[in-house]
Structure 1
């Protein structure tokens, strides 16, 4: 899995994930988020458009990251999940825990409200 910050504004960062997020690659997600978590109030949109697979370890990484971000007054949202991943997030109940948007632009626009 690759994790790239593709947009880094003063108010919102977009983290694009590409490939497979699993036990072998979850550490890369934590590393990518580490710099973003240093912001005074981290606001992060995770672009899932190019994420092809996510297992329970990957989901756990998202939950742990959200807890740290929320403790700092920020937020973490998802955008661009394919139908399988969107259904997975809903099935495991994360649709109530995370804001999930169809497109990155939608997530950024919601941040501006």
Structure 2
């Protein structure tokens, strides 16, 4: 798995993940989210377009990140999940709780949530 972080001029952050988000490397995402969420009112978009597989460890990292962002007065939004990941998020009941957007741009401005 590869994770990259890009900060924007408006203090929002885009975390891009490529590969498998599973028990073998879920701590990489958790560690990255811990770092970007360690600021007042964090605004984080997680770009999921490169995720090939996600298990419960990956889902847990996203939920914990979402909760931590909300507790800090900010948000964590998910962007561009594959068809597989979109169905997984629906199946386990996370789409009503986590904001999911079709594109990173939509997630940054908070429009057209799925």
Same fold (TM over 0.5): yes
Q: List runs of 5+ in structure 1 lacking aligned partners.
A: none
Check if 1:32 corresponds to 2:32: yes
| RMSD of aligned alpha carbons | 1.3
Q: Where does residue 102 of structure 1 map in the other structure?
A: 102
| Structure 2 Cα separation of the partners of residues 52 and 61 of structure 1 | 16
Q: Where does residue 61 of structure 2 map in the other structure?
A: 61
Q: Where does residue 45 of structure 1 map in the other structure?
A: 45
Shift of 1:11: 3.0
Shift of 1:110: 1.6
SS at match of 1:34: helix
SS at match of 2:93: coil
| Structure 2 Cα separation of the partners of residues 8 and 54 of structure 1 | 27
| Structure 2 Cα separation of the partners of residues 107 and 8 of structure 1 | 13
Q: List runs of 5+ in structure 2 lacking aligned partners.
A: none
SS at match of 1:96: coil
